[in-house]
Homo-oligomer: A and B are copies of this chain.
Amino acid sequence: MRRIVVAPDSFKGSLTALEAAGHIAAGIGRVLPDCRVDRFAMADGGEGSIDAVLATRRGQRHLEPAADAIGVPTTAQFATLDVGGRLTALLEVAQVAALPAAPGSVEQRSSYGVGQQLRRALGLGVGGVLVALGGSSTNEAGAGLLAALGARFTGRDGRTIERPALRDLEHIVAADFAQLDGRLAGVHLAALSDIDSPLCGAAGATAVFGPQKGVASGRVALYDGWISRFAALCETAVGRQVANSPGAGAAGGIGWALQLLGAEARSGAIAIAEMSGLDAALAGADWALTGEGRSDAQTLRGKAPLAVAQLARRHGTAVTLLSGAIAADALRTLAAHFDGCFSIIPRPMTLELAIGHAGELLADAAEQLTRLRVARLAS
């Protein structure tokens, strides 16, 4: 074999994506010491997206002040890099308001800090902004982000709500986008996620993702109503209907807010694969290996390994999944997307042991797969 592409996601709890790629490459190298192995770090549009792209692409990290989810000053990073000749910013929502360590209650949290970051990026003269939406702790339809970018929300008492959170949505009676940051008009915005949900309803942000952020089950319908009313107010003001667009429900509705501003909803994994050069590398490669800590039904909803599989197959390149664990109910469906789905587990063992030895298990498994891959056929 002349060239193999290695592009795993992180193995959560044990290995970053780049570490995982290193272990897989090491295993391949034991069998094919002279084969070129192109390593990529994958991410699915959540935490780790910046690291994944900058692992293989030259770019700049910016560490800037921003409010955290409850307004406490903190610092957060974003990246700028050249994408197709255009200076592009890559932001992670998780930099400002990430689960699981988010402060305060879900009612108090706001995406205001993400809007501040976006504004900083605009100040650098970027022509594009990509926002990785995964891992958010907020559920306020991106009201904070919109406010940070110049939207004005007025409460029942006539006052402007500077940093709106979920609990404020109930009281907002007016939305004014006249003072919206004018630089947004000239910028290509993209919202990166693996979520297809609309903003509201049974498949929406609050019903599906609210509970894991702290929304009490008895309050889902109430909050969903607040968000629905707030969104209608904004959509009327802007003159754009996006609440039912796929991805509007991503990041507690930040997906909706970005689409309201004209953003394109994109698969985070695919966007990151293209940005990092993975898509180009897959063309003409002999084999691609991807992986992740655990493969289950989620994997099939646009997670990084599936994106690698889709891109690889587009190029006619064989692609294999190497996972820390493959859920019982997912194998049959996963199998259709890969040229073999394998776990790194060599014998019955505990999850703790597997996590503790993930690196060596991954290298061993990659070595064995490579041995099989290079074995000759008689006919």
Contact partners of A346 in chain B: CB under 8 A: 325-326, 328, 331, 343, 345
Q: In the complex, what's the smallest C-beta–C-beta distance from A199 to chain B, in angstroms? A: 35
Contact partners of A216 in chain B: CB under 8 A: none
Contact of A354 among B324, B348, B378 (CB under 8 A): B348
CA distance A377 to B339 in the complex (A): 12
Whether the pair B376, A318 counts as a contact (CB closer than 8 A) is yes
The answer, yes or no, to whether A237 is at the interface (CB within 8 Å) is no
Contact of A347 among B320, B326, B339 (CB under 8 A): B326
The answer, yes or no, to whether A350 is at the interface (CB within 8 Å) is yes
CA distance A320 to B287 in the complex (A): 19
Contact partners of A364 in chain B: CB under 8 A: 331
Contact partners of A285 in chain B: CB under 8 A: 378
Number of A positions contacting B (CB below 8 A): 46
Number of copies: 2
Contact partners of A318 in chain B: CB under 8 A: 372, 375-377
Interface bits A322-337 vs B (CB < 8 Å: 1, else 0): 0011111001000100
Contact partners of A326 in chain B: CB under 8 A: 346-347
Q: In the complex, what's the smallest C-beta–C-beta distance from A358 to chain B, in angstroms? A: 11
CA distance A353 to B350 in the complex (A): 12
A-B contacts, 18 of them at CB < 8 A, read A2-B378, A284-B378, A285-B378, A317-B378, A318-B372, A318-B376, A320-B375, A325-B346, A325-B348, A326-B347, A328-B347, A331-B346, A339-B371, A340-B371, A343-B347, A345-B346, A348-B354, A372-B373
Residues of A that sit less than 8 Å from B by CB = 1-2, 284-287, 294, 316-318, 320, 324-328, 331, 335, 338-343, 345-351, 353-354, 364, 367-369, 371-379
Closest 4 CB pairs between A and B? A340-B372, A325-B347, A339-B375, A318-B375
